[in-house]
Amino acid sequence: MKPLLIAVIQAGRNFRYTWGSQIMTLLTVSLSVLIFSFFFLIYTNVMKAGVNLGGDLRLAVYFEEEPLPEMITRLKKKITDFREVDKIIYVSKDEAYNRLSQHLGEDIDVLANINPMFLPPSLEVYPPKDLKNLSQIKLFSEYLTKLPGAIKVQYGQGWIKRFDYFTKLLRIIVILSGGLLILTATFMVAYTVRLTVVARQEELKILRLLGATNNYILMPFLLEGLFQGFCGSALGLLSLGILYSWVKDRFYSPSFFEFFEFSFFSHTIIGIILLASIALCIGGSVTSMRRFLKV
């Protein structure tokens, strides 16, 4: 009879005798995978969220006088030399006035007695999506302030600062809780697997006394680890998927997801999580069993 077949039979038999603790292990693995992947999902999405928020950023450089066209070209070059940007738009006094009147709409008459030339001309700089860090923005803005003829740079400093802190806070929370949770999950899986082995230590000792080879003892545990790692993490990922779509349905509003573009794991990452938890379960049992194999 082939050893593998025997191992399968043995694993099946073991399951019949210890299904309670096996299901417990499976649930523990599921819960751990759920927790871990939940935070991983949030972490990756939060990191992206910062980028999206930064995408709306616009720095307006106001000038005292309308610069000459060739001056504008030079200014644009100076800016792009310092840092790559998405685009730069020149807004002349006229355009600024047009914009304001458009903005006011029906209330255009407010401007009736106003000199259309009172608004300063400006260069609107749209930084690239990856410029999301407050200190980088500050640096950029300081550079822009020093451009010849520039009198002021505006970019909603107050709000951006707040946003930056908010994002920072969110990251601290996500990282700390992630760390805490991964600690917990590892602890739980290690503990549960160890207990499963301890619960069967009597059986293992007897098998050793009867002359069982290492293979004979290890194989069923490997199969079990494979099974538990796979089913456990599949179950955990499935729960996360359900949770994810529930949250998406529940809190969905187009404007919400305009800012936070949440997305689920790619197939690759799902595969990696499955493999990692299988490896963890198998590694866990084999490590806790090592001392029995020496008897």
Q: Under the rule (CB under 8 A), what is the footprint of other proteins?
A: 1, 3, 6, 17, 202-203, 205-214, 216, 294
Q: Which of 11, 26, 33, 35 binds its own copies (CB under 8 A)?
A: 35
Residue 183 binding: pick among other proteins, its own copies, none (C-beta 5-8 Å cut-off by kind): its own copies
Cα distance between residue 62 and residue 122, in whole Å: 4
Tell which positions 64-83 bind its own copies, by CB under 8 A. Answer: 64
Q: Does 19 bind its own copies (CB under 8 A)?
A: no
Alpha helix ranges (H) inside 133-213: 134-145, 157-199, 201-209
For residue 147, the 8-state DSSP code is: S
188, 31 contact by CB (below 8 A): yes
Asked whether position 152 contacts its own copies by CB under 8 A, the answer is yes
Q: Would you say 272 and 20 are in contact if contact means Cβ atoms under 8 Å apart?
A: no
What is the helix (H) or strand (E) element at residue 124, kind and residue range?
A: strand 122-126
For residue 283, give both structure tokens: 């590694």
Q: Which of 290, 279, 291 is nearest to 189 (CA)?
A: 279
Does 195 contact its own copies by CB under 8 A?
A: yes
Dihedral sign for Cα atoms in the order 245, 246, 249, 255 = negative
Three-state DSSP at 127 gives coil
Identify the residue among 4, 9, 238, 243 touching its own copies (CB under 8 A).
243
Closer residue to its own copies (CB): 180 or 275: 180
Q: Binding of its own copies at residue 98 (CB under 8 A)?
A: no
Residue ranges that bind its own copies, judged by CB under 8 A: 24, 27, 31, 34-35, 38-39, 42, 49, 53, 56, 64, 104, 107, 109-111, 113-115, 117-118, 120, 151-152, 156, 158-159, 161-163, 165-166, 168-170, 172-174, 176-177, 180-181, 183-184, 187-188, 191-192, 195, 243, 247, 251, 255-256, 259-260
